[in-house]
Amino acid sequence: MIQAIGLTSSPRKELPPAVDDVSFEAYAGRVTALLGAPGAGKTTALKLMLELQRGRGVAYFRGRPLHRIPHPAHEVGVLLGDVPGHPARSVRGHLRMLCAASGVPARRADEVLEAVGLVSLRDERLGTLSRGMDRRLGLACALLTDPHTLVLDDPARGLSVGESRWLHDMMREHAGQGGTVLCSTADPKEAARIADQVVTLEGGRVVADQEAADFARTRLRPRVAVRSPHAVRLSALLTQEARAARRSVEVVREGGNRLCVYGSTCAEVGETAFRHGIVVHQLADEIGDMGPAAGAATEGRLTRPLGDPQKGRRPPLTPAAEPAAPDAAPPEATADEAETHTTAAPQRTTSHPAARATRPRVTLPPPVLVRPAPRPLRPVRYEIRRATGVATGYVVGACVLLVSALTAVVLARIGHTPQPRLLAAWPAELPLPPAALGAGLLGALAFGDEFRHPALAADRGTVPRRLGLLTAKLLVASAAALVLAVLTIGCDAELLYLVYGSEMVTVPADWLPLTAGWLALVTGCAWAGVLAAGVFRSTTAGLAAVVAVPLLVVPLVHKLMEGPSAPPEPLSQRLRDGLPLRWPFGGEQHLEAVLRLVAQPVGGAMTLSVVALLGAYVFTGLRSRVR
């Protein structure tokens, strides 16, 4: 079950908080609807419960707050808004990426795709899915780890009647198997139709906490929906006849040619229109909302305080035995599907349990019986699937190789370029070679896409958001940068050999320190891109930080290092004389090479930038935790 206690959002300048002291309970085996008009605070309350927004109060999921649950994704399945995935990623690839993040087997992606009916669309891109298919994919992501609790924010918004019915049946099936379902909606009729318990919000406060039957009795009442090109005249006639007969009839005009008549019947409205020769395009019974004031008026009588979880609880309902809420209209009786071009009054259809039993029964994915223990490589698996699931990295790598090869050929034609720079396609006029810029862009995309398409935002804690995820991104970015560096040298050397012959690709005598410096430069650019994008939450900022190293930091380091000084004693000799034990295998020479590489202006600037960005990343992470 869910217990929300005192949820209060942070104040918004001089405005009142969007959510103010919201408390309610949602029991296992039942569907709880969080009802409210747009702006009532439904989404804010859900984000406070999931600790996605700062505020006061606490929400317990089966007795524990979310930050105390070791693996929140295994306890709570979340659907907030559209599916937060890269539009170029495939449906199956997105689910397999989340499987790697949560530690469930990769075959789980196919199981949930079959349950939600997306097997035929598993190779489609997320950006091409319709609204209904996006909702199905969102529910598949929520059910991926077989959670006990589902938290859905207005899941049926914008869906057709058939898609909404399927989604509601899935929610009912999950609750029927003992799970907890909490969803938000702005439609009172939908809340009465799908929920066992309705919590009404108004102005960020709870105004009613009711059983579905009590909610339907106190908040909903029948009305007649009328569409006519002569709506104004018909409204006046209905009001006039009601006054003459001394009957309580209320006629509300809802814009255009639509009227809502309370306190009358289709037969009476149709006879009035027929007697006066008024054409009627629609005449249907509906269930109308009495407004939030009705729920507020019954707050003291119907609101149930937090207390014993078993108090007032009823046994779970199965989809076939779900009772229809009193006076609640089924989806088939909505105004959009009851249009007719006649003055005859249609018969009102009613919902019956037997009619619901004839629907195709929805099936949930099979339960996850064995959950593997958390492994340190889980973030690395997630990052590899995230990076390889879209073509952006491959496109960047291909562009880098092409530009580097063409630049190397042009530099060889012009001449006056040292061979190491020629093989790296690094003209003196550019601050960085194309391979270093490409590695920095790949590193910036690692975190930039994470914030632009936050696949892990809704179920925080699936992959460690601080150390684990950062380490995985640094490792994968380093591997991609090293591969790109080696391929760049190889492609440039091969093309120079084909165009100019073997004299252009001779191996330099000091190839080992040159190779180490080249790999360190490319890796450092990748790390700078990852850390800067993680600090500033933007791919552009990450790439800008990489370019700023040679343009801004290198001149600063060069000024600090320049000046007259006596020639120092070789570092290897000082290391050998300062330590009582000798370095094995000439280790002091390798250490000297590394320190000389760092002591260069570019190496020192890159090291300084990476250390500063790492400190900024740690500082921002600690500051967000303290808040």
Q: Is the dihedral of CA 587, 593, 599, 603 positive or negative?
A: negative
Do 234 and 297 meet the contact criterion of CB atoms below 8 Å apart? no
| CB neighbourhood size of 271 (10 A) | 14
Average pLDDT score, the chain: 80
Q: Which domain holds residue 475?
A: 378-626
Q: Please check the confidence at residue 274 and state whether its pLDDT lies above 80.
A: yes
Residue 382 lies in a domain: yes
Q: pLDDT: is 183 or 245 the higher one? A: 183
The 3 state secondary structure assigned to 208-234 is: EEEEHHHHHHHHEEEEEEEECCCHHHH
Distance of CA 597 to the CA centre of its chain: 42
Structural domain contains residue 72 = yes
User: Hey, what are 291's tokens?
Assistant: 């407004």
Packing angle of the helix pair 131-143, 161-176 (nearest 10 deg): 10
Ramachandran quadrant class, 557 (left: phi over 0; alpha: psi -120 to 50; beta: rest): alpha
Predicted local distance difference test score (pLDDT) of residue 605: 77
The answer to whether the beta carbons of residues 206 and 24 sit under 8 Å apart is yes
The answer to the question of residue 603 being in a domain is yes
Strand pairing class (31-35; 180-185)? parallel
> Which value, in Å, is the radius of gyration of the alpha carbons in the chain?
33
Three-state DSSP class for residue 15 = strand
- Per-residue pLDDT of 532-559, as tens digits, reads 998 888 899 999 999 888 888 877 766 7
Closest alpha carbon to 518 in 591, 439, 614, 443: 439
Is the model's pLDDT at 596 over the cut of 60?
no
Q: Which of 67-76, 237-246, 312-321 has the lowest mean pLDDT?
A: 312-321
User: Given 3-state DSSP classes, what are the helix, strand and coil percentages for the chain, each rounded to the nearest 5?
Assistant: 50, 15, 35
pLDDT at 339 over 90: no
Residue 55's φ and ψ, nearest 5 degrees, are: 175, -170
In this structure, are residues 216 and 185 in contact, taking their beta carbons and an 8 Å threshold? no
> Can you say whether the dihedral through the CA atoms of 374, 378, 382, 385 is positive or negative?
negative
pLDDT digits 0-9 by tens, 184-214: 999 888 998 899 999 999 999 999 999 998 8
What 3-state class would DSSP assign to 357? helix
pLDDT at 430: 84
| pLDDT confidence bin for 350, thresholds 50/70/90 | very low
H-helix or E-strand spanning residue 612: helix 601-626
* β-strand pairing of 76-80 with 149-153: parallel
In a domain? residue 196: yes
As a whole number of angstroms, the distance between CA 486 and CA 546 comes to 20
Decide if pLDDT at 576 tops 90: no
Q: Collapsing DSSP states into helix, strand and coil, what is residue 144?
A: coil
Q: Could you tell me the pLDDT band of residue 575, with boundaries at 50, 70 and 90?
A: very low
Condensed to tens digits (0 to 9), the pLDDT of residues 116-141 reads 999 999 999 999 999 899 999 999 99
More confident of the two residues 480 and 568: 480
- Separation in Å, CA 132 to CA 337, 359, 456, 501: 19, 19, 22, 60
DSSP string, 593-609: HHHHHHHSHHHHHHHHH
Residue closest to 472 by CA, chosen among 447, 440, 436 = 447
The pLDDT of residue 450 is: 83
**What is the C-alpha separation between 374 and 387, in angstroms, rounded?**
21
CA distance 122 to 118: 6
The mean-pLDDT minimum among 138-147, 429-438, 466-475, 524-533 falls in 466-475
**Is residue 206 domain-resident?**
yes
Asked if the model's pLDDT at residue 354 lies above 80, the reply is no
Beta carbons of 80 and 459 less than 8 angstroms apart:
no
Would 307 be classed as within a structural domain? no
Residue 397 vs residue 454, higher pLDDT: 397
What does each C-alpha distance from 423 to 66, 339, 479 come to in angstroms? 53, 74, 21
Starting from the edge strand earliest in sequence, which strands make up the sheet with 22-26, in order?
22-26, 2-9, 55-61, 64-65
> Does position 60 have pLDDT exceeding 90, yes or no?
yes
**Does pLDDT of 314 surpass 50?**
no
- In angstroms, rounded to a whole number, what is the distance separating the alpha carbons of residues 120 and 464? 33
Q: Which pLDDT belongs to residue 315?
A: 37
3-state secondary structure of 548: helix
Return the CATH number at 137: 3.40.50.300
As a whole number of angstroms, the distance between CA 215 and CA 35 comes to 11
Last residue of a domain, one of 216, 250, 273: 216
Specify if 46 maps to a domain.
yes
User: Residue 306: which pLDDT band, with cuts at 50, 70 and 90?
Assistant: very low
Residues 390, 386: Cα–Cα separation, whole Å: 8
| Sign for the pseudo-dihedral over CA of 303, 309, 313, 319 | positive
Question: What gap in Å lies between CA 332 and CA 287, rounded to an integer?
Answer: 12
CA–CA gap between residue 404 and residue 393 (Å, rounded): 16
User: Of 260-269, 300-309, 370-379, 404-413, which range is least confident?
Assistant: 300-309
Tokens of 138: 């969102």
User: Which is it for the CA torsion 184, 188, 191, 197, positive or negative?
Assistant: positive
The 3-state secondary structure of 291-337 reads CHHHHHHCHHHHCCCCCCCCCCCCCCCCHHHCCCCCCCCCHHHCHHH
Boundary (domain end) residue, out of 198, 216, 234: 216
pTM, two decimal places = 0.75
What span, in angstroms and rounded, lies between the C-alpha atoms of 137 and 350? 32
Is it the case that residue 341 has pLDDT exceeding 80?
A: no
> What phi and psi, each to the nearest 5 degrees, are found at residue 132?
-65, -40
- The number of folded domains in the chain is 2
pLDDT for residue 623: 62
Instruction: Please state, for a pLDDT cut of 70, what percent of the chain lies above it.
Output: 77
* Arithmetic mean of pLDDT, 586-598: 51
Terminal alpha carbon distance of the chain: 27
* Of 504, 364, 583, 460, the residue nearest 84 (C-alpha): 460
Q: Which two tokens stand for residue 14?
A: 């001089």
Look at residue 265 and tell me if it is in a domain.
no
Q: Look at residues 216, 247, 262 and tell me which one is the last residue of a structural domain.
A: 216
For residues 480 and 487, give the distance between their C-alpha atoms in angstroms, rounded to a whole number. Answer: 11
